[in-house]
Structure 1
């Protein structure tokens, strides 16, 4: 663990990761895309452990977007299988490591077996108070915001809420991430530099770190590189530090 990773006082409380590059990793090695996803799961395990070891409080992983259902059937089936394997194989370790799992994303149209696995992970880890692992599954930020708006509109129509009382906090309380602090640092691997419908509301003041490394090759050292870059940022949240020039 590098010195930067041990700087707990300056550590981002919440790190979110867009895990990108599994397919390109596999293609570069002459392997099917599904093999890239399998290798990516091992990277996921390593990064979850490392984030907990260095003291990150919240780690959000963009595991499956609402748009990913349009991928080839074989690839989607592999991703679902890998999710099942991860929960069945790794849930006991998450429980013993004091990791709490929280799932964000649309649940209403998920297959019953997948929904059951996600709910089992949340239930079995609910009492843990170490790292909170936020799994963005069947997640799309626009969908999340639309669902929040419908919830608010329903309460206004029923007279439980007045339109004048709706604030940013009101909206935040209706999002899937209610009770979770906004991300301080968002990492995207593989060199791509876009959010891809991920945490659009919550990312308002996040720092971004774009790594050229494909996700299957992303290591604890690469994670620490992102932490070092974060420490070097001057975060002012729209204001100025005392004594700073305009």
Structure 2
């Protein structure tokens, strides 16, 4: 899909994945607690969902809480869970207003019962929506995802659902959390860090990467368009010539 943005005709990536980084540093620069940065970061997510859809992006996936984030101070983790509860509740209203479909990926068993119930409700009430496909990664780690997928696939193979010879890339991908999503075309990471941090390692095999020094709470529509402009400078050959 092509669209005119900032006076240029640009190819719009179908699926954009974002590592939301820099909330704590944003707050520290303002002499505020880290949790204030997370709260502002959540507001940025809301706005970027709207901006992404208006630009023409069909799928947006964000890295909200990783399997490694449990190592943070207990006070911060509890504050993040409180923020998550509020966000999920508010998101139900926004999905109806914006016709947005929401999915949550990751290992949900470690999340509290009320959070899992809120996730189930959110996914159910938004399932028929036809606007932006928004995916939130919670307690997500790509290695954990692949191990869970391999265990499930191995069990099905053991029970005779298919033979070892029938294991293909497509079959393996069908066991991943992202089985209902196309692979991302563009990966964005904010705050100046340039690593994947256990994020969509399988799915990002042929994505273009855009790294920006902008801290996540300051990320806006114009920075998103800059990422799309960068995407348009890349020649995507997928291993060909």
Question: For residues 37 and 109 of structure 1, what CA distance do their matches in structure 2 show?
Answer: 21
Question: For residues 35 and 109 of structure 1, what CA distance do their matches in structure 2 show?
Answer: 24
Counterpart of 2:160 in structure 1 is 159
Counterpart of 1:110 in structure 2 is 111
Counterpart of 1:210 in structure 2 is 211
Unaligned runs of 5+ in 2: none
Structure-2 change in CA distance of 1:8 and 1:99 (3 Å) = farther
SS of equivalent to 1:16? strand
Deviation for aligned residue 1:9: 7.0
Structure-2 change in CA distance of 1:177 and 1:69 (3 Å) = same
Question: For residues 156 and 88 of structure 1, what CA distance do their matches in structure 2 show?
Answer: 39
Counterpart of 1:243 in structure 2 is none
SS of equivalent to 2:110? coil
Question: For residues 124 and 189 of structure 1, what CA distance do their matches in structure 2 show?
Answer: 31
Counterpart of 2:28 in structure 1 is 27
Counterpart of 1:201 in structure 2 is 202
Is the contact between residue 100 and residue 126 of structure 2 (CA under 8 Å) also seen in structure 1?
yes
Question: For residues 234 and 59 of structure 1, what CA distance do their matches in structure 2 show?
Answer: 22
Question: For residues 34 and 116 of structure 1, what CA distance do their matches in structure 2 show?
Answer: 24
Counterpart of 1:189 in structure 2 is 190
Counterpart of 1:72 in structure 2 is 73
Question: For residues 10 and 233 of structure 1, what CA distance do their matches in structure 2 show?
Answer: 11
What is the alpha-carbon root mean square deviation over aligned residues? 1.6
Q: Which moved more, 1:104-113 or 1:166-175?
A: 104-113
- Please give the per-residue CA displacement for 1:168-203, whole angstroms capped at 9, x wherever unaligned: 001100000002100000000000000000000000
- Please give the per-residue CA displacement for 1:107-163, whole angstroms capped at 9, x wherever unaligned: 223210111111111011001011100111110000000011001110121122210
Count of residues paired in the alignment: 239
Question: For residues 22 and 229 of structure 2, what CA distance do their matches in structure 1 show?
Answer: 22
Is the contact between residue 21 and residue 191 of structure 2 (CA under 8 Å) also seen in structure 1?
yes
Q: Which moved more, 1:92-101 or 1:179-188?
A: 92-101
Deviation for aligned residue 1:73: 1.2
> For residues 1-16 of structure 1, what are the structure 2 equivalents within 5 Å?
3-4=4-5, 10-16=11-17
Deviation for aligned residue 1:3: 3.6
Q: Which runs of 4+ in 1 moved over 6 A?
A: 5-9
Question: For residues 95 and 30 of structure 2, what CA distance do their matches in structure 1 show?
Answer: 31
Unaligned runs of 5+ in 1: 241-246
SS of equivalent to 2:94? helix
Question: For residues 30 and 104 of structure 2, what CA distance do their matches in structure 1 show?
Answer: 32
TM-score computed with the length of structure 1 as normaliser: 0.93
TM-score computed with the length of structure 2 as normaliser: 0.95
Is the contact between residue 91 and residue 122 of structure 2 (CA under 8 Å) also seen in structure 1?
no
Deviation for aligned residue 1:214: 0.5
SS of equivalent to 2:60? strand
Counterpart of 1:172 in structure 2 is 173
Deviation for aligned residue 1:4: 2.8
Question: For residues 138 and 102 of structure 1, what CA distance do their matches in structure 2 show?
Answer: 14
